[in-house]
Amino acid sequence: MIFIKNLGRLITYIEESLLALLLGVMVILATSQIFMRNLWESGVDWSDPLLRVLVLWLGLLGAMAATRDGSHIKIDLLTKLLPAAATRYLPPITNLVSAVICAIVCYHASRFVMMEYEDGAAAFATVPAWLCEIIIPIGFGLMALRFFSDTITGLFTPQQRSAE
């Protein structure tokens, strides 16, 4: 159990560090591009594709952090329609559905990344496309694990989950 908690802390630290680093790199790169284009009418050719990749990484890392903190988008229409006694079991059910959907996306994203690896295409400069896209299966895989973990937790402590 201690190993799992330490692993969770390590993953959280890596996510938060990557989020801060990527955001900083994006701001510096975009600002330098603006100045180079406006002042010297030049720029770095690969900066625009790199910024697009950084947006992808930042978006998925942000989604992973939101899933970790439980601050992701939730649709709670059923909580308004069902009686209170039934709604306490909704979080485990919705978490399970979310876990399954994330797992399916992870599977197909893994297949996509593998095809890109086999193709050998470059995203920009000499950076392989698969390396830029690897965050998709990693992100959805971690979100699937978190949703599944929340499902198990919600099944064993439904009263606590309904108060959230």
Which tens digit of pLDDT belongs to each residue from 122-153?
888 888 999 999 999 999 999 999 899 888 88
How far apart are alpha carbons 82 and 8 in whole angstroms?
34
The model's pTM is 0.78
- Spatial neighbors of 161 by CB under 8 A, at least 6 apart, are 88, 91, 92, 153, 154
Please write the tens of the pLDDT for every residue from 67-90: 887 777 766 666 777 777 777 778
Q: How many residues does the chain have?
A: 164
Phi and psi dihedrals of 83, rounded to 5?
Answer: -65, 155
Q: Kindly write down the DSSP assignment for every residue of 91-103, as one continuous string.
A: HHHHHHHHHHHHH
